[in-house]
Structure 1
Amino acid sequence: MGRLRIVKGKIFEVVENDLHYYSEASITESASDVYSEQGGDGISHSGDPGTPPPSPTLSKCAVFFRPTKEWKGEFGFDWIRVGDSKMETDVPYNGIIGKYGAVYATDAGSKFTANPKKYNAILKDYSTFSVYKGTYYVPNMTLNVGEKAILDTIIHVGEKADKLHYAYNTDVFELIIMKQFTVKKGINHDEGSLIIKCKKAFSTPETIRVIATKNKLKEKVGEIKILPNNNNKNINIVIIPVENNGYIGHFIPNEQQVLTNALKQSYINPLIEAYKTPINVDSAWFNFWFKSGEKLDNSSIVSIHSHLDDAFYKIKGNKDKYSKYYRIYMLKGADIAINGEADHIDTPNSSVVVFDRPKRGRSVSTMAHELLHAMGLYHTFDNDSPYTFELYKTDNIMDYTHKKLKNRFSTNKFQWKKINPNLK
């Protein structure tokens, strides 16, 4: 490409050694006053100028970060899925973001239509820069003080760099490199190659970058963006066992851990109390709804949530203490058609019901799923969600992937910001 330089004053070029100009076309020099050339050993206007040296090239590589296949949501990690990780569920986003028609996603006859505009909209949730393969979408990450994240690295190599190294704030993070970058030409997947430890709180976004050096030129070829962790939100939760018809609701192993992980991804600290004494709700009204298998809050008289709250608050001191808690009621529910239900979506300090029916669909993530409804999240396949994903295609905790016997545990940045306004 050409170069045009126009100045109103004088031009000075001073170099310590030789100065060479090469052009594939003509070079024209003109001056409105005197144009002079001086050379200590003379000036040559003839001869072969020679072949110009090759232009310096930047590195043709890119480094992408992904959670390991063992990741279960212990930290937040949100990226544009392209199906390149080792995880159980990792479907490319391009093609699974759109809308459902008039029939709800889980009902017979539902139809999903992908929408490229909606896909392009979610891309705006990620910082970008250019690499030799195109646009790099920077993953969003959350990591609390004293905790660690183990990641895979995927290195795309078109031309080997002279050097690859990490650049990061050493006051905030400690990086443990378990495996050096594999740099043979092609795509290299290094599993569990990086451990990131967060040493202290920080108030502005931090980045961990990979810098490539080629021909003494440096460029960024990989990055993670870690959101500030200095303003976490605390919420109070009480988990209440319920006795009905001689049965008492129980936990599934690791259920509280899945709940804690899901909230930590949004920088929410759950303060969980397990209420020790089961409350009894035997009554003709309750047993009617309990055994009907219908949606449990359609009664024109009172909802199951109100009925449970009434029974719980009759116990002296409970209303004063727990009315500003999220209340999770655990029931034995072998005959119930659903696994759980939130009283309302996006209602602070409301209640949810979780049914103890693990052989009929309830999973270890049901409690977290229902609480996140109460905190403001829709199903990922719901048209009311900011982004609508095709059913069963994600490991998001608000999907129904568990019905396909796969784990669900992740959340996205747009969900983090919904349930935690403190998150930047």
Structure 2
Amino acid sequence: MGNMISIAKTIVESSELSTTYATNGDISLNAASQVKLRSTEKIIYDQYKAPATKEKELKKFLVHFRRPADYKGEYGFDWLRDEYIYAINYIERDNNNQPCNSTMPLVSDVAAAKKEYLKDVKSPVKPYGVDYYPAWLSLFPYTSSQQFKYGSSMNKDGARLDLELEEIEEVISDGTEIIFESKNPNLKITPQKVNIAALMGSGQQTRFRPGGVKVKYYTLKGAVTVVNANAPLQQHEEIKVFAKLGNKKEEVGKLMVYNNHVIPKMELILVKVGTQANSLPAIDQQLVKDIEYQFKRGSYNQALIRAEIKTDTIFETGVLPLTDHDVTSYWNNVLGGAASFNEQQFLEEVIKLYEKYGQHKPNGGRINADANKRTYIFLTDLPAGFNGIAAAANGDVIKEFVWGNAFVVFLKGLNQRRTLLHEAGHSLGLQHTFSAGQPTAGLKPPPYTFYQGHTDNIMDYTWQTNGNLNPYNAKDNMRSFFKFQWDIMRQDRSLILNY
């Protein structure tokens, strides 16, 4: 043992391996390397301090909510897709059938599209300085009639969504948690957090933006479920997404959920218009049930509109009096044959005749009037090859009218789900996705337009102006209404708000 040195009330005992010291009875053992001898005259030492641990760095990334591949229109979901705003798709001809022959964004006005997807967003975010456009989800509230008169079991199980992690810098499986927060107790997301390892386990994928820019991302299918229960949402709500590692926490995403405290009702009147003997049975009850299902659970529910077939009736035009000029005009058009048949005239004359002779004509008589709260679908038995037409709709240009409350579907279109839904969309005030608007018809023009035949929207066409088929039509995937269309349809004059 080394020498013992006494200084006042302090005892220090030294050896080659350690230094033991005591002050007023406190004794601790420190490695000799931690004792600092600053003078040969006097022993001075510093208390031991463990080396600082470097905190892990939170990697930079974004989190997006995405619609699953098996989506069938059972809830509303819309997001700003890359192809809308980046020059990714090759466009051969524009909507006026003029040559383009270049790679372009699908929307006519990229700035307008970006602005529209930020409309109504609560507390917009810009994680790490990157523009962020939240996806929009719409759900019927699952409530009892006591909790909310207009509740529904339609979205009882909510929406099961994919999660996409988009890298800003390379991520690693470092224990980072992705946390979801909703301040509304009636809007729940499960699970409430996901470990980054679960997303990375899905495998990295790559997509490209103009200029060869690589976007690396991970997609976890069916990662989360969003449910609205017990009470409706009085305003648009948000689910915030945070990335958390240790003490660091950053907001990296958001999901907007559409308010659902007002549920308009769309009453449909199916009118089978007979023009040929024994052909009306082809429009059978199973078809009627299928039509209602598509309206109620695969399309207009996206805009939180409850669609119901109120009446299914037959209107046999062959028994109408030929002394009526409108009847003879109607038959002259029908009997003129495919070469001279005018489908727009047919619709207008059917409306006029039904207003005179129809069993379920609206109160006040006029179908295309503000007082009418029903949409009339005239199903005809004119053969499939008759002029090659599927459907027709019209807008009434009388100043107080927004759009017609009726359309006609010919036999060719009866088994085409999208045709029925598309024409009904016009009756609720929607333009084609590729139309800039027709002010004389009183329709509100869309905030931006797309190139024809390139989207999965119900209001798009199944073909492009160059004759190619819409890529979404091949697998019957034209099932979407976009968020700006939800806004337009919900304001239509024909909808019933109190029922």
| Interval of TM-score (by shorter of Structure 1 and Structure 2) | 0.7 to 0.9
Q: Report the counterpart of residue 23 of structure 1 in structure 2.
A: none
- Give 1:3-42 correspondences, 5 Å limit: none
Q: CA deviation at 1:226?
A: 0.7
Q: In structure 1, what is the Cα distance between the partners aligned to 2:56 and 2:336?
A: 75
Q: Report the counterpart of residue 257 of structure 1 in structure 2.
A: 293
Q: CA deviation at 1:80?
A: 0.7
Q: In structure 2, what is the Cα distance between the partners aligned to 1:103 and 1:202?
A: 39
Assess if the C-alpha contact under 8 Å between 2:179 and 2:194 holds in 1.
Answer: no
Counterpart of 1:221, as a letter, is V
Q: Report the counterpart of residue 291 of structure 1 in structure 2.
A: 338
Counterpart of 2:113 (choices 107, 111, 122) is 122
The answer to whether residue 244 in structure 2 is matched with residue 197 in structure 1 is: no
Q: CA deviation at 1:81?
A: 1.0
Counterpart of 1:226, as a letter, is V
Q: In structure 1, what is the Cα distance between the partners aligned to 2:96 and 2:108?
A: 21
Q: Which moved more, 1:267-276 or 1:96-105?
A: 96-105
Q: In structure 1, what is the Cα distance between the partners aligned to 2:75 and 2:335?
A: 42
When normalised by structure 1's length, the TM-score is 0.72
Q: In structure 2, what is the Cα distance between the partners aligned to 1:417 and 1:253?
A: 27
Q: Which moved more, 1:181-190 or 1:132-141?
A: 181-190
Q: In structure 2, what is the Cα distance between the partners aligned to 1:152 and 1:317?
A: 45
Counterpart of 2:431 (choices 378, 388, 396) is 378
1:163-206, Cα deviation, whole Å (9 max, x unpaired): 22211135212333499452438422111122211102011211
In structure 2, the CA distance between the partners of 1:392 and 1:103, relative to structure 1 (3 Å rule), is closer
1:318-361, Cα deviation, whole Å (9 max, x unpaired): 343884121100113312322111121774562100112159xx
1:4-49, Cα deviation, whole Å (9 max, x unpaired): xxxxxxxxxxxxxxxxxxxxxxxxxxxxxxxxxxxxxxxxxxxxxx
In structure 2, the CA distance between the partners of 1:235 and 1:53, relative to structure 1 (3 Å rule), is same
Q: CA deviation at 1:229?
A: 0.6
The answer to whether residue 353 in structure 2 is matched with residue 311 in structure 1 is: yes
Report the 3-state secondary structure (helix = DSSP H, G, I; strand = E; otherwise coil) of the residue aligned with 1:135. coil
Structure 2 residue runs without a partner (length 5+)? 1-50, 119-123, 143-154, 205-216, 320-329, 438-444, 464-468, 493-499
When normalised by structure 2's length, the TM-score is 0.62
The answer to whether residue 372 in structure 2 is matched with residue 330 in structure 1 is: no
Q: Report the counterpart of residue 165 of structure 1 in structure 2.
A: 179
Assess if the C-alpha contact under 8 Å between 2:178 and 2:194 holds in 1.
Answer: no
Assess if the C-alpha contact under 8 Å between 2:436 and 2:449 holds in 1.
Answer: yes
Report the 3-state secondary structure (helix = DSSP H, G, I; strand = E; otherwise coil) of the residue aligned with 2:222. strand
Counterpart of 2:485 (choices 411, 415, 422) is 415
Assess if the C-alpha contact under 8 Å between 2:199 and 2:219 holds in 1.
Answer: no
Counterpart of 1:320 (choices 355, 358, 363) is 363
Q: In structure 2, what is the Cα distance between the partners aligned to 1:281 and 1:398?
A: 34
Aligned length: 354
Report the 3-state secondary structure (helix = DSSP H, G, I; strand = E; otherwise coil) of the residue aligned with 1:165. strand
Q: CA deviation at 1:286?
A: 3.8
Report the 3-state secondary structure (helix = DSSP H, G, I; strand = E; otherwise coil) of the residue aligned with 1:337. coil
Q: Report the counterpart of residue 344 of structure 1 in structure 2.
A: 395
Counterpart of 1:400 (choices 461, 468, 493) is 461
- Give 1:270-285 correspondences, 5 Å limit: 270-280=307-317, 284-285=331-332
Assess if the C-alpha contact under 8 Å between 1:174 and 1:196 holds in 2.
Answer: yes
Identical aligned residues as a percent: 21
Q: In structure 1, what is the Cα distance between the partners aligned to 2:459 and 2:274?
A: 28
In structure 2, the CA distance between the partners of 1:194 and 1:420, relative to structure 1 (3 Å rule), is same
Q: In structure 2, what is the Cα distance between the partners aligned to 1:104 and 1:117?
A: 13
Assess if the C-alpha contact under 8 Å between 2:162 and 2:223 holds in 1.
Answer: yes
In structure 2, the CA distance between the partners of 1:131 and 1:317, relative to structure 1 (3 Å rule), is closer
Counterpart of 2:314, as a letter, is T
Q: In structure 1, what is the Cα distance between the partners aligned to 2:90 and 2:436?
A: 9
Q: CA deviation at 1:407?
A: 2.2
Q: Report the counterpart of residue 141 of structure 1 in structure 2.
A: 137
Assess if the C-alpha contact under 8 Å between 2:413 and 2:419 holds in 1.
Answer: no
In structure 2, the CA distance between the partners of 1:143 and 1:215, relative to structure 1 (3 Å rule), is same
Q: CA deviation at 1:375?
A: 1.7
Q: Report the counterpart of residue 20 of structure 1 in structure 2.
A: none
Q: Report the counterpart of residue 356 of structure 1 in structure 2.
A: 411
Q: State the superposition RMSD in angstroms.
A: 3.6
Q: In structure 1, what is the Cα distance between the partners aligned to 2:183 and 2:242?
A: 14
Assess if the C-alpha contact under 8 Å between 1:340 and 1:366 holds in 2.
Answer: yes
In structure 2, the CA distance between the partners of 1:358 and 1:101, relative to structure 1 (3 Å rule), is closer
Counterpart of 1:266 (choices 273, 285, 303) is 303
The answer to whether residue 171 in structure 2 is matched with residue 155 in structure 1 is: no
Q: Report the counterpart of residue 6 of structure 1 in structure 2.
A: none
